[in-house]
């Protein structure tokens, strides 16, 4: 018998529990990635990343959203990947921090990005009816990604993965309980 996983199929909404730093809303995101399988079924060195469509479907990006006061930064990053992209995995060390202007709100945000080595892709996830998810190689993803700061985070990830000193062995698995998600 297989192990059944239960994931809350409702995304968190509202801004009353959001974190702010010097007046800037803090958003946390992930770049979900995996190593592509070669034709013979072995894991290759080629990295694929998962991009998602915006809710309105006009742009491609990586999962991101508000960091809430009742969760760690890693839990927030993992939660956003579950809600927006339907993937679970191991969160690595922070890729960086960027200040960016929200086009829709006209205010500056602080964006913190993490890598996530994907271990499972869910068939059902909270935002599956409002987002598409697409696996791409890093060149395609960099071209397709709308936001400059996410492109820079992708560059950091590519550099990190190409350096033998920084292979993803210190990643930590973040357990998200149903109470945390809902």
Q: Could you give the CA distance from residue 19 to residue 70 in angstroms, rounded to a whole number?
A: 10
- The predicted model scores a pTM of 0.80
Residue 180 has pLDDT above 70, yes or no: no
Q: Looking at residue 178, what is its pLDDT?
A: 38
C-alpha torsion 56→127→145→67, nearest 10: 110
Give yes or no for a contact between 87 and 116, defined as CB atoms under 8 angstroms apart: yes
- Computed over every residue of the chain, the mean pLDDT equals 84
Residue 152 has pLDDT above 90, yes or no: yes
In this structure, of 7-21, 57-71, 110-124, the range with the lowest mean pLDDT score is 7-21
What CATH fold (topology level) applies to the domain 20-162?
Answer: Nucleoside Triphosphate Pyrophosphohydrolase (3.90.79)
Chain segment 43-92, per-residue pLDDT in tens: 778 899 999 999 887 899 999 999 999 999 999 999 999 999 999 999 99
pLDDT band at 167 (very low <50, low <70, confident <90, very high): low
């Amino acid at each position: 018998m297989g192990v059944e996983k239960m994931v809350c199929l409702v995304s968190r909404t509202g801004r009353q529990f959001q974190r702010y730093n010097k007046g800037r809303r803090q958003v946390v995101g992930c770049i979900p990635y995996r190593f592509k399988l070669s034709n013979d079924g072995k894991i290759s060195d080629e990295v694929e990343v998962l991009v998602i469509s915006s809710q309105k479907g006009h742009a491609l990006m990586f999962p991101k959203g508000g960091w809430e006061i009742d969760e760690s930064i890693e839990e927030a990053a993992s939660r956003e990947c579950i809600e927006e992209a339907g993937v679970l995995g191991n969160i690595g060390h922070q890729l960086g921090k960027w200040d960016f202007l929200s086009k829709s709100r006209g205010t500056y945000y602080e964006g913190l990005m993490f890598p996530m080595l994907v271990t499972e892709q869910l068939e059902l996830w909270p935002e599956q009816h409002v987002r598409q998810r697409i696996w791409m190689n890093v060149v395609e993803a960099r071209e397709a990604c709308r936001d400059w700061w996410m492109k820079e985070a992708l560059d950091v990830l590519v550099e990190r993965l190409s350096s033998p000193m920084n292979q993803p062995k210190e990643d930590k698995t973040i357990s998200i309980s149903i109470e945390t998600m809902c």
